[in-house]
């Protein structure tokens, strides 16, 4: 009696697995990318070399140089342009291929330099407009990558 049940059970299992074998697998759902705003400032304090705090900075020409603490900021507060030069010794291409001002294609032949980033824009008009709201345009250019 017990063996019969076992045999029936195995037959049912076999039938079950053959009927589900042809099911197609759903593609795994991609999780939505996290919308974290990129920090486009200097990572290390130009005075101490330590990691900066995003709420400790001096500002000039619409650009911010960040420091690790108030003491380091105090050394540069009278000359924010020198702080910018120290924080951003060179500008590296951001790599955007869309002008953040106009939304048109930008091939990299016209760029603006902002906080150590060379940001591609489409034309001279957009170079001028960029400076009117530089941080927002830079964030847009970085986000479009
Ligand atoms: Zn410091
Ligand atoms: Zn343009």
Region 138-142 average pLDDT: 95
Start-to-end C-alpha separation, the chain: 69
Ligand 2 center from residue 128 Cα (angstroms): 9
Determine which of 7-11, 83-87, 114-118, 140-144 has the lowest per-residue pLDDT on average: 7-11
Has residue 133 got a pLDDT over 70? yes
- Centre a 10 Å sphere on the Cβ of residue 62 and count the other Cβ atoms it contains: 15
Has residue 18 got a pLDDT over 70? no
Contacts of residue 96, Cβ cutoff 8 Å, sequence gap at least 6: 106, 119, 120, 141, 142, 144, 145
Residue pLDDT, tens place only, 68-125: 999 999 999 999 999 999 999 999 999 999 999 999 999 999 999 999 999 999 999 9
pTM value is 0.71
Report every protein residue that has its C-beta within 5 angstroms of ion ligand 1: 48, 68-69, 72
Ligand 1 center from residue 138 Cα (angstroms): 26
Report every protein residue that has its C-beta within 5 angstroms of ion ligand 2: 102, 122-123, 126
Ligand 2 center from residue 86 Cα (angstroms): 30
As a whole number of Å, the CA-based R_g of the chain is: 28
Residue (of 122, 93, 114, 111) closest to 40 by Cα position:
114
Residue pLDDT, tens place only, 21-41: 555 666 666 665 555 667 999
Ligand 1 center from residue 76 Cα (angstroms): 11
Ligand 1 center from residue 53 Cα (angstroms): 9
């Amino acid at each position: 009696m017990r063996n019969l049940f076992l045999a029936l059970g195995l037959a049912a299992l076999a039938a079950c697995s053959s009927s589900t074998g042809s099911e197609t697998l759903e593609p795994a759902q991609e999780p939505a990318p996290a919308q974290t705003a990129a920090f486009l400032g200097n990572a290390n304090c130009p005075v101490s070399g330590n990691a900066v705090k995003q709420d400790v900075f001096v500002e000039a020409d619409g650009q911010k140089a960040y420091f690790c603490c108030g003491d380091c900021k105090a050394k540069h507060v009278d000359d924010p342009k020198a702080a910018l030069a120290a924080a951003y010794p060179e500008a590296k291409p951001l790599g955007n291929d869309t002008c953040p001002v106009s939304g048109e294609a930008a091939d990299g032949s016209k760029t603006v330099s902002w906080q150590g980033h060379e940001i591609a824009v489409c034309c001279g008009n957009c170079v001028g407009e960029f400076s009117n709201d530089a941080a927002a345009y830079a964030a847009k250019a970085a986000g479009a990558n």
